Amino acid sequence: MVSCWLHVDGFEAFGPKEARLTARPPLAGKLNVQSGLPLYQQLQRTLRQAIKTQAFAPEDALPPERNLARDFRVSRITVRKALDGLVSEGLLRRRQGSGTFVRARVEKSFSRLTSFSEDMRARGRTPHSLWLQRSAGTVTPEEALALRAGPGTPVYRFHRIRFADDAPVALEYATILASCLPSLDAVDSSLYAALERAGTRPVRALQRLRAVLLTAEQAQLLQAKERDPGLLVERLGFLRDDRASEFTQCYYRGDTYDFVAELSAAP
């Protein structure tokens, strides 16, 4: 692997968050022109490793293209091609007029039953939502089957876009038994906080994850492209008396969310 620390300068044009990169000690390095691997792929590999080891942390700005071209002794076309590939991989994102930034990914553990808001705050992110629908009704056949509820059972539905800071990361479609909440308006920013106040927060859940391709509508809401990879997580939450109370389907952008599970060997 080509190892190289980036010589970073010229960050006075960026905000305070990006300026902290100047504190990193610059180390000399260059790409191997004799290698059979194209230069842009070598640069991609070096930057990918820097992101993996958090030499560049989430939301950090990369040096300008001209600086990368100078430090690695390659053309700006080579730099742009390398960055384009990392943007396509979901490791970087471009902000018009600001530069290229490391995309912040979110890790979601399957070992604990936590809400989206709790996950975001635990990682120093600011969660918020854009409501798509809040409605009262009765269970659909799919909901009745999942919740083990009879026809005509009253439910509340909460559909929204979930954001981490300013980035949309998930579409959430939650159905809750109406008996678990005092009213439709009881939910403000966090559904689980509202359920906890009502004494009906799920204590365990079954979750199923599968890969999907985002539809045109989903992609538009998540600021992605149609048929971009996504993750569908279906969760069925249970109360202490083992009654199913929550059926939620979340569509996550595949380039922003990592799901982590801790496994152990059988005794």
Highest mean pLDDT among 59-63, 65-69, 82-86, 248-252: 248-252
* 115 and 247 inside one domain: yes
Nearest to 117 by CA among 39, 38, 201: 201
Average pLDDT value for residue range 209-220 = 95
Q: Can you give the pLDDT at residue 20?
A: 38
* 60 and 162 inside one domain: no
CATH number, domain of 90, equals: 1.10.10.10
Q: Can you give the pLDDT at residue 198?
A: 95
The neighbour count for residue 103, using CB atoms within 10 Å, is 19
For the whole model, what pTM was predicted?
Answer: 0.63
Does residue 148 sit within a domain?
A: yes
The per-residue pLDDT for range 90-127, each reduced to its tens digit, is 678 788 888 898 876 666 666 678 888 887 776 667 88
Does residue 3 sit within a domain?
A: no
Confirm if 39 and 76 have CB atoms less than 8 A apart.
Answer: no
Does residue 6 sit within a domain?
A: no
Domain that holds residue 162: 106-260
Name the token pair of 75: 């053309």
Burial grade of 251 (CB within 10 A; 0-12, 13-18, 19 or more): buried
Q: Which of 81, 102, 123 is the last residue of a domain?
A: 102
Name the token pair of 170: 């998930």
The per-residue pLDDT for range 164-209, each reduced to its tens digit, is 877 888 999 999 999 999 999 999 888 999 999 999 999 999 999 9
Percent pLDDT > 70 in the chain is 80
Average pLDDT value for residue range 228-252 = 95
Q: Can you give the pLDDT at residue 1?
A: 36
CATH number, domain of 199, equals: 3.40.1410.10
Question: How distant is the alpha carbon of residue 10 from its chain centre?
Answer: 30
